[in-house]
Chains A and B, each alone.
Chain A
Amino acid sequence: EVQLVESGGGLVQPGGSLRLSCAASGFTVSSNYMSWVRQAPGKGLEWVSVIYSGGSTYYADSVKGRFTISRDNSKNTLYLQMNSLRAEDTAVYYCARDLLPDSSSDYWGQGTLVTVS
């Protein structure tokens, strides 16, 4: 069974850093298209970043240069390193597998809340 479990969220001051983790089971992170999506309180979904199986990475303009997506194959875990955090980064952060328009299925974690204040 595919499972994604995020952790690492919490309260951080503006300008601070935080690293989110997404532990995967039931599949291999490095062989899949893995994304981070966030949702500010009471707001819509916002795509944040993606890492392809080949290792290419892409970022939303709002986080480019501040956030870094990566993975640890030995731990089968996806990460999001967040630096220079701002109040507007406050959101629930979800990791997801296969977030593609043509994919017949996708998988999401339960989300982890990041509060920048």
Chain B
Amino acid sequence: SYELTQPSSVSVSPGQTARITCSGDVLTKKHARWFQQKPGQAPVVVIYKDFERPSGIPERFSGFSSGTTVTLTISGAQVEDEADYYCFSLGDNYLGMFGGGTKLTVL
């Protein structure tokens, strides 16, 4: 079955590097997308195609893919980066899938 697994929470101090992983067999064949979601807001894409960064997203956000795991890295995390993060991909069956989400705490 197609599933994406993320840690439920990650905590770092301001200025530290935060790493959030997303694992799933589908990631050996399909790219991943990362979303940031703050309370009461729609998700915002921060990484697409595993490692590409959309315009307007700070350079401290980066992505990496290896085998069945993709990793979102926030280098020098800021207080304003505190949010829920979700990975997303597409199965061979054309069905979309989100990871369970990771709550990033920066304090």
Contacts and interface: CB of A to CB of B under 8 A. Distances in A.
Contacts of A104: 48-49, 52, 54
Interface in B79-101: 84, 86, 88-90, 93-101
A101 B30 contact: yes
A102 B54 contact: no
A88 interface: no
B83 to A, nearest CB: 13
A59 B31 CA distance: 20
Given A58-B95, A104-B48, A45 B32 contact: no
B96 A102 contact: no
A12 B96 CA distance: 27
A102 B49 contact: yes
A101 B54 contact: no
A106 B101 CA distance: 19
A101 B42 contact: no
B15 interface: no
Contacts of B96: 35, 37, 47, 50, 60, 99
A94 B37 CA distance: 13
B98 A108 contact: no
Interface in B42-98: 42-43, 45, 48-50, 52, 54, 84, 86, 88-90, 93-98
A103 B32 CA distance: 10
Given A104-B54, A105-B45, A105-B54, A45 B98 contact: yes
A101 B86 contact: no
A108 B98 CA distance: 16
A45 B35 contact: yes
9 shortest A-B CB distances, which residue pairs? A47-B96, A44-B101, A108-B42, A101-B31, A45-B98, A58-B94, A102-B49, A101-B33, A44-B100
Given A45-B86, A104-B48, A50 B98 contact: no
Nearest to B99: A44
Contacts of B95: 47, 58-60
Given A47-B97, A94-B42, A108-B43, A100 B90 contact: yes
